Chain A
Amino acid sequence: MTMTADRVITERPEMTTILRVARKELRSSVTSRWFWMWVLAFVGLALILVLVALPSTRIGGQAGFGRTAASLVTLVQIIVPLMALTLGALSIAAQRETGALRFLMSHPISRTEAFWGLYLGNSAVLAVATTAGFGAAGVLTISRGVTDGTATFAWIAFASWLLAMAMLGIGMLISTFAKRSSAALGVAVFVWLILVFIGDLGVMGTAAATNMPVSVLFFTALANPVEAFRLLALTAFAGSLDALGPAGVYAVDTLGDNLDLSLLIVLLLWLALPVLAAWQRFRGKADL
């Protein structure tokens, strides 16, 4: 061990320290039941979906991988935000409650190093869950003889991980504010409800009641990272957003070739801003 008590904590965070915290975080996650519950739930649901979604041999593999991907996208929309938000919400709050955070900070490491270590560790946890889910689903799909759409599948797996990272950031932001882990968990579940259900339902209701122009509908919906992920995945496996009616056609007409890029930027903004805010909060005045 190179790190000794007289190590001077500098303003410049060290990558090796961050990685060390990250690995510790990943290790403690892997030994927890929560982690295995999430991985098993995601992998299991993905496998069931593939079995159900794969077209029967009587119809032929014509709809193939795209169809499997479509079902997986709905699954990801529901389960990945829930997994990542709760993971993020518990990360700091729960460790604060058990005193693990104070123990961690008793080591000669800066708050910045501790924060990014926790973030990196948790994003590795999410990477395990998503790659395991998509990998297992992919193997099963191939074993059923469907082999088209490889690039699409890879892209959706990657986009799922991006979504997971964005949700992790939001979760950690909640965590830095929460006094207790139970409060953090409650807020995280509420945010999940808003992003996955209530937000869309609200836009739907408003649009139906007020004859909202499709442009407003599209951009309002786009503010939601879960929607940005869905549209990104949909452009990948459907080739366009035409299937989404007038608002989808509007999106294609307005953004054209920049559609994918715009969606990616929305997702990356949601990835960057909450986690940066959480870092500022943790570095500044968050209790240990």
Chain B
Amino acid sequence: MRRITLFLVAILVVFPATSASGGEDLQAIIDAAEPGAVVVLQPGTYDGNVTIDKPLTLKGEGWPVIDGGGVGNVITVDAPDVTLTGLVIRNTGDSLDQENAGVNGLAPRVTVVNNRLENVLFGVYLRLGDGSYVADNVIGAMGDEVARRGDGIRLWESSGSTVERNVVEGGRDTVLWFSDDLVIRDNRISDGRYGLHFMYSDRAIVSGNELTRNSVGGFLMYSQDLVLTDNVISHNFGPSGYGIGLKDMDGLTATGNHVISNRVGIYLDNSPATPGVEHQIEGNLFAYNGVGIQFLPSVEGNTLSGNAFVDNAEQVGVQGSGVFDGNTWTVGETGNHWSDFAGYDATGDGRGDIAYRLEDLFSSLTDDHPELQFFDQTPASKAVDLAGQLFPAFRPRPKVEDTAPLIEMPEIPRPISIDASGSLLGTGLLALSLLATAVGLLFVARRPGRRLAP
């Protein structure tokens, strides 16, 4: 932010500023401005569908509205070093073919800071925008069915860009194509299809983001050397329903993430893709997911240590049957913490004295017959697990063997604080009225009443 402020101050000093108020022809104002000028917009509504074809700062004071009127792009940026800030950008067209966007960037170093984008098909769409900066925007995408939505933020061949502190709700993805060395941090992305979607974008740093209630929190594909740290990834459900999906990724480092209450915490499909590449998944929390971490059978080369697996319905799943080896669950004397570890630590070194082995009969049944997941968590499924424990003949081959399971849950600080929801009053009233019903019925029964017969 400081970088941007300095930048703004610099151009304010050097270039004269023009000022305009609502109702004027925005395109005419832009055309009249000198390259490098700061155009200040006063509150009011301006017609959109404008093109900026010279370096320029368009700065709103008091949230002026630029309205695309439901046609085409609202603002097209066709020159490098353009800054848009303090604007309300609304009502793009709804053509997915033309990819109508609130901010349609076609040049390097576009700066989009502190804007509100409302009812837009695509929010910020930057092509060939190396070194761009997208921060502190609130983007609300058009709320049609998923197939008819656009992307909240899309970068295409825009390497070295930073996307931070944006709030994106609805829409399809925040998607990054062919853009290397990105920094994606502290964004809140919810209710979309793929919260983050990496395609062929190498060496990105993804940290401190909150990816919630999307169909997939982050789908990371065909990218190398991505660092994923300190994100909160929760409540991502739906038919795919992955917290993080990895497809053909090479060189992932994931640490300090909170992966909570997703259908599947992390899903690994052919990742790492290249033999010999190792993925480090260390010190993450996987809690309350349907499946903590799910592999396709041939996946190997992942090293997991110091993670906490807490009360996932299935801690580790393998989709389909087949050989499942070649992933490491213990590094030196450090394994992972498993909430269902039933061993002990007599030696007092904080490690279980016996290995943690994942060999649930029911979950190995569902690995082979996914349709049986239907009975997950039923008394019958528990009976199947019990049978597996009582009769070694039924016991499946262990999926996971961790020779140094951690007894104590490792400290994995919550990266982001989240507001509590719900009301104390409502829940309290409900609980008390339930209790009152019980007591009331008892009172009716106890009160000496008239007899049935004389």
Determine if A147 and B454 form an interchain contact, defined as CB atoms under 8 angstroms apart. no
From A107, A141, A157, give the contact of B453 (CB < 8 A). A107
Interchain nearest-CB distance for B360 vs A (Å): 14
Residues of A within 8 A of B441 (CB): 26, 124, 127-128, 131
Cα of A240 to Cα of B377 in the assembled complex, Å: 15
Residues of A within 8 A of B205 (CB): none
Query: Who on chain B is nearest to A243 by CB?
Result: B290
From A3, A60, A149, A230, give the contact of B378 (CB < 8 A). A230
CB of A283 within 8 Å of the partner chain: no
Cα of A173 to Cα of B274 in the assembled complex, Å: 65
Binds A, one of B125-133, B233-241, B276-284, B388-396: B233-241
- 0/1 string, B283-325, CB within 8 A of A gives 1: 0010110100000000000000000001001000000000000
Determine if A70 and B377 form an interchain contact, defined as CB atoms under 8 angstroms apart. yes
Interchain nearest-CB distance for B47 vs A (Å): 40
Interchain nearest-CB distance for B442 vs A (Å): 6
CB of B444 within 8 Å of the partner chain: yes
Residues of B within 8 A of A98 (CB): none
Residues of A within 8 A of B3 (CB): none
Determine if A197 and B383 form an interchain contact, defined as CB atoms under 8 angstroms apart. yes
Determine if B430 and A3 form an interchain contact, defined as CB atoms under 8 angstroms apart. no
Interchain nearest-CB distance for B124 vs A (Å): 29
Residues from 416 to 434 in B contacting A, C-beta threshold 8 Å: 418, 420-424, 426-428, 430-434
Residues from 109 to 129 in A contacting B, C-beta threshold 8 Å: 124, 127-129
Determine if A153 and B430 form an interchain contact, defined as CB atoms under 8 angstroms apart. yes
CB of B348 within 8 Å of the partner chain: no
Q: Is the interface of A mostly helix, strand, loop or mixed?
A: helix
Determine if B379 and A74 form an interchain contact, defined as CB atoms under 8 angstroms apart. yes
Cα of A78 to Cα of B290 in the assembled complex, Å: 22
Q: A26-B445, A200-B375 are in contact. Are A147 and B438 (CB under 8 A)?
A: no
Residues of A within 8 A of B414 (CB): 59-60
Determine if A30 and B380 form an interchain contact, defined as CB atoms under 8 angstroms apart. no
CB of A189 within 8 Å of the partner chain: no
Cα of A62 to Cα of B213 in the assembled complex, Å: 13
Binds B, one of A180-188, A244-252, A261-269: A244-252
Interchain nearest-CB distance for B53 vs A (Å): 47
Query: Who on chain A is nearest to B339 by CB?
Result: A56
Determine if B241 and A242 form an interchain contact, defined as CB atoms under 8 angstroms apart. yes
Residues of B within 8 A of A142 (CB): 424, 427-428, 431
CB of B263 within 8 Å of the partner chain: yes
Residues from 98 to 136 in B contacting A, C-beta threshold 8 Å: none
Residues of A within 8 A of B159 (CB): none
CB of B49 within 8 Å of the partner chain: no
Interchain nearest-CB distance for B356 vs A (Å): 20
- 0/1 string, A197-234, CB within 8 A of B gives 1: 10111011001100010100110010000010010000
CB of B366 within 8 Å of the partner chain: yes
CB of A13 within 8 Å of the partner chain: no
- 0/1 string, A250-279, CB within 8 A of B gives 1: 000000000000000000000000000000
Cα of A244 to Cα of B454 in the assembled complex, Å: 58
- 0/1 string, A35-46, CB within 8 A of B gives 1: 000000000000
Binds B, one of A17-25, A87-95, A164-172: A17-25
Q: A21-B452, A197-B379 are in contact. Are A139 and B431 (CB under 8 A)?
A: yes
Residues of B within 8 A of A200 (CB): 375, 378-381
CB of A58 within 8 Å of the partner chain: yes
CB of A280 within 8 Å of the partner chain: no
- 0/1 string, A126-137, CB within 8 A of B gives 1: 011101101111
Cα of A53 to Cα of B394 in the assembled complex, Å: 29
Residues of B within 8 A of A10 (CB): none
Cα of A134 to Cα of B427 in the assembled complex, Å: 12
Determine if B445 and A63 form an interchain contact, defined as CB atoms under 8 angstroms apart. no
Instruction: Give the 5 A-B CB pairs with smallest separation, nearest first.
Output: A245-B373, A138-B431, A135-B434, A148-B422, A200-B380
Known: A227-B378, A247-B373. 5 other contacts (CB 8 A): A107-B452, A127-B441, A150-B423, A200-B375, A201-B383
Residues of chain A whose beta carbon lies under 8 Å from any beta carbon of chain B = 1, 3-5, 20-21, 23-24, 26-27, 29-30, 55, 58-67, 70, 74, 77-78, 104, 107, 124, 127-129, 131-132, 134-139, 141-142, 145-150, 153-154, 157, 196-197, 199-201, 203-204, 207-208, 212, 214, 217-218, 221, 227, 230, 238-240, 242-249
For this complex, 12 residue pairs linking A to B, each with C-beta atoms less than 8 Å apart, are: A20-B452, A21-B452, A59-B258, A104-B452, A124-B441, A141-B427, A147-B422, A149-B427, A204-B365, A204-B372, A207-B369, A243-B241
